[in-house]
Amino acid sequence: MSNQISIIEIFQRFNTEEKCIKHFEKIRWPKGLVCPRCGSKRIFKFKAEGKTGKERHLYECVDCHYQYSVTTGTIFHNSHLPLTKWFLAIYMICSAKKGVSAKQLQRELDISYQTAWYMSHRIRLAMQEDDRFCQKFSDVCEVDETYIGGKGKGKRGRGAANKIPVVAIKERTSGKIRMKAVKDVSSSTLKGFIRAHAQTGANINTDEFTSYLWLDSSEFTHSVVKHSETYVDGDVYTNGVENIWSLFKRSIVGVFHKVSAKYLPLYLNEFEFRFNHRDTYNMLDRVLETSF
Ligand SMILES: [Zn+2]
């Protein structure tokens, strides 16, 4: 974590609403203010008093008269919370290796539990891998699936009731991953997932599960780990992606206790994002870039 921006620097740079707005403006409109409705560049800035008496920083388009703020159409929209708290919350969620519970956010930011819960879900929406930042994998990849939730262990079949199948792909050279909660682990589901994240010609390593058999006669190269055989080809393995499962499971057990099917995709987003950006210096900016 030492290669990441410190909380002191975040605090010094973003300790007032004005500083946060100025920074977010630059991220939203790097080439200058643009009307979100008509695209005009003739924008008039003004301040007004909001319902709660708080000063609001607004923009008005000279051409279509649309009035908006820097947070309109972003994850921060319709929130009474200052950006100073949002920025700190993003920083906290990004820099904690296993994530941050709503309870902890409530305590550290001096907000209500409901607000903390709402904030962390909104932030998770922005913690998404995006094609701008993560292109399709083209190198050697490992693919595997597991089951999350429910009681007891179980992989593929017995014991898997009430559990949600999750599939992941990891590219070896970049160390990046993509994960997805899926409805089943059929060939067609796994095919859709692999095609979405790997380029034609990529070398896909999997185990002997029958849902991967189609890879043998497809647009990909298929290398199969034969757990049943004593001879092991040193270059064919899925340990990398298997390690992801244990990391993910530890993080949801440790911080979030139980994850429902409804929220699992969001937790997967958050985990994937944090994992892929573990060497990014300023994850706050990266989240701000996908917050609108
Ligand atoms: Zn306009």
Confidence at residue 286, expressed as pLDDT on a 0 to 100 scale: 92
Span 25-39, average pLDDT? 96
Q: Which of 106-115, 168-177, 191-200, 271-280 has the lowest mean pLDDT?
A: 271-280
Q: For residue 1, what pLDDT band results from cuts at 50, 70 and 90?
A: very low
Across 4-8, 134-138, 190-194, the highest mean pLDDT is recorded for: 190-194
Q: Give 63: exposed, middle or buried? Use CB within 10 Å, 0-12, 13-18, 19+.
A: middle
- Compute, in angstroms, the gap from residue 46 CA to the centroid of ligand 1: 15
Q: Which of 53-67, 148-162, 201-215 has the lowest mean pLDDT?
A: 148-162
Task: Report the alpha-carbon distance of residue 180 to residue 161 in Å, rounded.
Answer: 18
Tokens 């693919």 belong to which residue?
Answer: 143
- Compute, in angstroms, the gap from residue 44 CA to the centroid of ligand 1: 11
Q: Is 260 helix (H, G, I), strand (E, B) or coil?
A: coil
Confidence at residue 291, expressed as pLDDT on a 0 to 100 scale: 92
Task: Report the alpha-carbon distance of residue 146 to residue 168 in Å, rounded.
Answer: 9
Quick check: 162 pLDDT over 80?
no
- Compute, in angstroms, the gap from residue 284 CA to the centroid of ligand 1: 29
- Compute, in angstroms, the gap from residue 25 CA to the centroid of ligand 1: 17
Task: Report the alpha-carbon distance of residue 99 to residue 92 in Å, rounded.
Answer: 8
- Compute, in angstroms, the gap from residue 58 CA to the centroid of ligand 1: 13
Closest CA to 163 of 154, 152, 174, 150: 150
- DSSP class of 145: E
- Lay out the sheet containing 164-171: strands in order across: 177-181, 164-171, 140-148, 203-206, 221-224
- Compute, in angstroms, the gap from residue 126 CA to the centroid of ligand 1: 26
Which pTM does this prediction carry? 0.83
Q: Count CB atoms within 10 A of the CB of residue 83.
A: 22
- Average pLDDT of the chain to the nearest whole number: 89
Q: Are 167 and 143 in contact (CB under 8 A)?
A: yes
Q: What is the DSSP string of 150-214?
A: SSS--SSSTT-TT-EEEEEEEETTT--EEEEE-S---HHHHHHHHHHHB-TT-EEEE-S-GGGGG
Q: What confidence tens digit (pLDDT) does each residue in 169-224 have? A: 999 999 999 999 999 999 999 999 999 999 999 999 999 999 999 999 999 999 99
- Compute, in angstroms, the gap from residue 51 CA to the centroid of ligand 1: 24
Q: What confidence tens digit (pLDDT) does each residue in 71-83 have? A: 999 999 988 899 9
Quick check: 232 pLDDT over 90?
no
- Lay out the sheet containing 43-49: strands in order across: 43-49, 55-61, 67-68
- Compute, in angstroms, the gap from residue 112 CA to the centroid of ligand 1: 37
Q: Give 154: exposed, middle or buried? Use CB within 10 Å, 0-12, 13-18, 19+.
A: middle
Quick check: 243 pLDDT over 90?
yes
Strands 67-68 and 164-171: unpaired
- Compute, in angstroms, the gap from residue 127 CA to the centroid of ligand 1: 29
Kindly state the tokens that stand for 40.
């005009």
- Compute, in angstroms, the gap from residue 74 CA to the centroid of ligand 1: 18
Confidence at residue 132, expressed as pLDDT on a 0 to 100 scale: 78
- Compute, in angstroms, the gap from residue 14 CA to the centroid of ligand 1: 29
Strands 67-68 and 55-61: antiparallel
